[in-house]
Structure 1
Amino acid sequence: MKCIYKLLTAGLALLLTLSVQAAKPIAEEAAMVSPLLNGQQVPSVMATTVAGKQVNLQQVLTGKKTILFFYRGGWCPFCNTQMGQLKQISSRLNGMGFQLIGISTDAPEGLQASIKERDLDYTLLSDFNSKVSQSFGLAFFASQKTTERYVSKMKLTNPLQKNRQGEERLVLPAPAVYVFDAKGLVQFNYVNPNFRVRLDEELLLKAAELVK
């Protein structure tokens, strides 16, 4: 009986782990995202470095406190402002033992351009196929109008994906900031479907100070 109980418990734990790490559906719009919440584990999902190397995000975060922020891309002026603000506090975050990592739909070449143009001193990772943002529950389908504007005018190379209606749309992440402890657990998160509104850097510092 005890053996059966142990097997059932182990099976349930495995199912819970898989359910947490499984990629969430892409939301039909930004207001419908279902983000990773406080207390949950960073998903085991692959991202791409500026050098084009595949890395497991879970392995990158585990063992070190991390500030992880999702932004749309280097073509977004609001994202550029945010990256600059984070650069101003990056040394303070480092002093508290945090690594700072940004993730966007930009290809590695786009990340390299952002680092060079803004003289960034922190890590950027590519999620050009939106697998990371999807695993965090942040991915959503942009409207047809937005898709046409950005793909044509901005010449984005992000692969379009089909929504439930079979329409090919651009997939973007809802801007978000996560604070992880060294075990890879979410201790604080800020997600806002309104891409024009970003987390104040002083509030982020206060949240970081509370993570042991």
Structure 2
Amino acid sequence: MRLFHVVVATLFCLISPLTVAASATNIFDAPEQVSPLLPGLSLPAATLKNSQNESITIKTLTEGKLSVLVVYRGGWCPYCSRQLAGLQKLEAKLAALNAQVIAISPDAPEQLAKSTIPNPFYTLLSDDSLAFSQALGLAYYLDDKTALAYRNKMGVNFVALDGTEKVALPVPAVFVVDKNGLVQFQYANPNYKVRLNEAVLLAAVQAASEI
């Protein structure tokens, strides 16, 4: 099995043999140190994959469309699953604003296909190399104790990164991106247990829709 630089979690401890290569160029040492992309800046270019392992560019998905980008840690994370399920409450209101939801995680494409969220109205994409999370300034290394606990207690599988046992994840974040590809709103919290209030998100999308 090839070593890959950022190992992603499996759903329900189902471990896939597929690995990918990645470059660790912008990964912070702790979640508190991340530097998320600021409002007013353009969304970075990236090519991700869907659950069918098809390559999709962020530009293609977001060009000319009001978009909500949700970066989450993986389908193994209960806080992330709860957040994504909660977004379904906003489906009708977001649709009325012509806003789409794009959810991105380090899960591999085949793991996305195992999502337990029923009938998601959003697009699920894989950033299994964490390249996009790095470009967004969200990637950080887990400390050894946390990485070990995730592997042993939660079934998160990982292998060596750059010859070490370090593991990286994204800080959960939400970006509202206007039709021109500019970030109009950003929320990122190093405390993965605290997620963006749905009413605040809706207000941000409403404001961006008027630009």
Q: Same fold (TM over 0.5)?
A: yes
| Percent of residue pairs identical | 40
Q: Residue 48 of structure 2 corresponds to which residue in structure 1? A: 47
The amino acid that maps onto 1:161 is L
Q: Residue 168 of structure 1 corresponds to which residue in structure 2? A: 165
TM-score w.r.t. the length of structure 1 is 0.82
Give, in angstroms, the shift of residue 84 of structure 1: 1.0
Does residue 144 (structure 1) correspond to residue 141 (structure 2)? The answer is: no
Give, in angstroms, the shift of residue 154 of structure 1: 3.7
Match of 2:187 among 178, 186, 190: 190
Give, in angstroms, the shift of residue 169 of structure 1: 1.5
Aligned length: 186
Helix, strand or coil: the match of 1:101?
A: strand
Change (3 A) 1:24 1:65: farther
Is the 8 Å Cα contact of residues 24 and 137 (structure 1) preserved in structure 2? no
Counterparts of 1:95 and 1:202, CA distance in 2:
15
Helix, strand or coil: the match of 1:118?
A: coil
Give, in angstroms, the shift of residue 59 of structure 1: 2.3
Does residue 93 (structure 1) correspond to residue 90 (structure 2)? The answer is: no
**Higher Cα Rg: structure 1 or 2?**
1
Q: Deviations over 1:124-150 (max 9, x none)?
A: 101111111001000000111121222
Is the 8 Å Cα contact of residues 81 and 117 (structure 2) preserved in structure 1? no
Counterparts of 1:152 and 1:80, CA distance in 2:
20
Give, in angstroms, the shift of residue 209 of structure 1: 0.7
Q: Residue 178 of structure 2 corresponds to which residue in structure 1? A: 181
Please provide the CA RMSD for this pair. 1.7
Give runs of aligned pairs for residues 1-212 of structure 1, distance below 5 A.
Answer: 25-114=26-115, 116-157=116-157, 160-162=160-162, 167-211=164-208, 212=210
The amino acid that maps onto 1:130 is L
Counterparts of 1:180 and 1:159, CA distance in 2:
34
Is the 8 Å Cα contact of residues 68 and 101 (structure 2) preserved in structure 1? yes
TM-score w.r.t. the length of structure 2 is 0.82
Counterparts of 1:37 and 1:161, CA distance in 2:
28
Give 5+ residue unaligned stretches, structure 2: 1-23
Give, in angstroms, the shift of residue 63 of structure 1: 1.2
RCO (CA 8 Å, sep 6+): is it higher in 1 or 2?
2
Is the 8 Å Cα contact of residues 128 and 158 (structure 1) preserved in structure 2? no
Change (3 A) 1:187 1:54: same
Is the 8 Å Cα contact of residues 50 and 126 (structure 2) preserved in structure 1? yes
Give, in angstroms, the shift of residue 153 of structure 1: 4.1
The structure richer in helix per residue is 1
Is the 8 Å Cα contact of residues 105 and 158 (structure 1) preserved in structure 2? no
